[in-house]
Every structure is written in C-alpha cells, then in structure tokens.
Amino acid sequence: MSCSSSSGSEEEDEGFDSYRKGGYHAVRVADQFAGGRYIAQRKLGWGQFSTVWLAYDTTTSAYVALKIQKSAAQFVQAALHEIDVLSSLADGVDMDSKCVVHLIDHFKHTGPNGQHLCMVLEFLGDSLLRLIKYNRYKGLPLDKVREICKCILIGLDYLHREHGIIHSDLKPENVLLVSTIDPAKDPVRSGLTPILERPEGNINGGGVTSLIEKKLKRRARRAVAKISGRSSPIGGIEAPKSDRNLDGIDVRCKVVDFGNACWADKQFAEEIQTRQYRAPEVILQAGYSFAVDMWSFACIAFELATGDMLFTPKVGQGFSEDEDHLALMMELLGKMPRKVATSGAKSKDFFDRHGDLKRIRRLKFWPLSKLLIDRYKFSERDACEFSEFLLPLLDFAPEKRPTAQQCLQLPWLQGIESTPNEMRNESSVEKVGVGMSNLQIKVGK
C-alpha cells in the first residue's frame, strides 16, 4: 500500500472509468441496502478504495455514513482489515467517550461490478482540514486548539494503550468534528428530510437544481416516507456567512479512517503516513511504533494553531523530497543526534558517518518559539507554552516522545471544560450532527 492521500479533493471526482468490474458500485439516490434498512441520500466523498454516501437508517431513524468498497479482491481484503480494526475498537465499549469513529454495521452488497463490502459508520461533521479552510488558514484560537488536541489524544490513548493499535495516517482530514460547522443545516433539527442539497449548488441561498435531481429527490422522499412512515418538506440552505467567528462551533471531534491502521505487533507496511505528517524514523526506515502517531499529532496541533503545515518538503536540485524533509526538521529542531540519524535502513542515502546530510549542507536554524512569535505573531507567553507542549512530541528519538496518556496530563491541556463523556450534543443517537460539506471518511491508501 502506498501512503498517498486517498481522499478526493473538492475539485475532483472519482471518474467514470472506475465504475467497472472490480471497481466502484454505482449508487443512485434512494437506492436501498441491507434489505432496505439503509437508503442512499447523497454522495459525501470518495477515496481510491471506496465511495461514501449519506444514508438514512430506517431501523434507528438516524443518518449514517455508508462506505461502499470497490469489489476487486485487494479492496475487499483492505475492507476486511478495516472492519477487523474497527470491530475490535467497538467491542462492548461506549464509543462516544473514546473519540474514535464507531462502526455500526457491515454487510456485502452485490451489484453489476461484483460483490462490495459495505461499512456503516456513525455520521460525523466536517474534517479538521475543512475547519482550517473555513477559517481561511488563519489559525484557530488556542482554546479551540486545546479542545481539539484533547479529543485527539483521548482517541490515541484508547488506540495505543487499550488496543495496541497504531493509526499510522493521522492528519487533519482524518479527524472529524462530532457536530457540524453550521447547525442550521442539520436536517434532523430543522425538520428536513434526509435529502441534502449539494453545497456547491446552493452557494447563494437559492441554488439551481436540475430536473433530474428534483425527480430523484422526490423519488427518495417517497421511499423514505414509505419505509419510515415519515415525510417532511425539503427546505433551502442559508448562504454562508462572510465572517468567520468560531465561537459557536463545537470542536469536539473523533479520529477516523482505519484503513492503514495496524497492531503494533502486526505491521504490514514500511512506508506509512502522509508526507507532511511523516515521522523521521519512517523516512529513515528505522522501525516504528505508537510514537509515529504522536509526531503526526504535533504536526496537526501546529497546523491548527497557525493555519500552515509544519513541514512542506519539496524536491530540489540534487536532493530528494525525503532529504529536504529531514533538513526542514533539523532547521526547526536542531541537528538530529548521530545515533538516530544513522539508525535506519535508508540512513546512508541521506547522512554521512558524522550524521550530517550529504547534499543539503547549509541549514537555517529557526527555533519553534521564535517562529511562532516572528511569523505567526504569537505573544511570548503563548509561544513559550505552546512550544513546551509541542517540542517533546517532536523529539527525533521516538522513545523520548511522551505518550498520549502522558500528554493528557500536561499543563497546556488543563482547565478544558469539555469531557469525553459529553461527546454528543444530544443524548439520543438520532440527533447525530450532519456536516453539509464533503465528509472525508476514507479507506486506506
């Protein structure tokens, strides 16, 4: 498995040529799954392995995310792995307190392109990446960053300490808000049917919908009314507000996408993690464990607080993306200890025997606290406190990085009101928050 991102961007789609034998299953609005229990409403997103649909669960009267895997053998195998991981996480536990997505159901669905494994997951809101974009890459207020960090750490602690699982692809796309950015768009609370307008079709509040879509919506409405005995009119969606006040946004969140997750004692890939969130030991192929997730977590925390990725390596004249990545790390964190630099199967590709990079000789050291003050205009106090929180997580030696459990005790995270047991706005499962934008629940790469 490669570790490039499997998420489709908002500007792209999955392409019609993948709808063939062994490929995606073609879904139409109001299609029924699992003997009529789940009714497809609208496509939320897609990955290299699957498409994801908003679906209505007629048994629980709740909205769910239905992930439909491609049917070829390798995709079936990947889905079985993800189901295995998610089932073990959900085994007899209240998942709302664990900050990890909940697998509700899984089944097989036969279509013209073959037999597809399907996963039913709780329906969550927007990803942290959407939140960062929504905030125009300006960096979130630090109290919001703290709340999000606490949730991610609760999820990582549950994975690492209680299950021995490494997520191995932690990034903003793979953390979803429990509720939605705009609660006014939630069809449960607003009394709408579970047919959601496409956001791009309704930017100015009115939105032009094709005749075909209108017919499909009427058909879906009738199907839902017939099966659930409920019917209600479809309303319009308000235009997005021009300001970006985040005060009212509930930032409690859950970790998703376990397509690349592995048990620490049953690893199946040397090259893991999306590039910008990749730990040095993975680049050097020096072996890895739970500490790789902690490195990625620190990169996410920085990105939330500043709006920028911590590391964005590029290929240059005479050096690779990997070597640039290592150089960027050392410019921020100081020289990599020789013992660490020379410890991996690929160390000799980048370092000489003294632990210096072979092809990038002139490094410009810019320590984290200075970077936060100079470039991001943090106050000295905020820069100092945030650096003290992040720097131990960015230790080149993986064994020295604090665990998720230890991080939860650190001073920077104390005094946050939200607790994991309040992971729902409402007590009933029907009140799941519904995010209007492309949901990025995805499968492994």
Active site residues: 169
Q: Is 376 helix (H, G, I), strand (E, B) or coil?
A: coil
CA dist., res. 232 & res. 221, Å (int): 8
Taking phi over 0 as left and psi of -120 to 50 as alpha, with beta for the rest, 257 belongs to left
Tokens of residue 120, six digits: 């039913």
Residue 376 burial class via C-beta count within 10 angstroms: exposed 0-12, middle 13-18, buried 19 and up: middle
Q: How far apart are the first and last CA of the chain?
A: 6
Taking alpha carbons only, the member of 368, 254, 247, 251 closest to residue 302 is 368
Q: How many CB atoms lie within 10 A of CB 235?
A: 14
Q: Which of 45, 54, 60, 53 is CA-nearest to residue 6?
A: 45
Tokens coding 107: 């089944």
Measured in whole angstroms, how far is the alpha carbon of residue 55 from the centre of its chain? 20
The residue whose two tokens read 């050097």 is 284
- Cα–Cα distance, 248 to 208 (Å, whole number): 30
Q: Which residues share a beta bridge with 63?
A: 56
Please indicate if the annotation marks 67 as binding a ligand: yes
The SS3 call for residue 14 is: coil
Angle of the 291-306 helix axis to the 142-157 helix axis, nearest 10: 160
- The C-alpha atoms of residue 258 and residue 169 are separated, in whole angstroms, by 8
DSSP string, 42-103: EEEEE-SSEEEEEEEETTTTEEEEEEEE--SHHHHHHHHHHHHHHHHHTTTS-GGGTTB--E
Q: Which residues are annotated as a binding site?
A: 67
Binding-site residue numbers for ATP are: 67
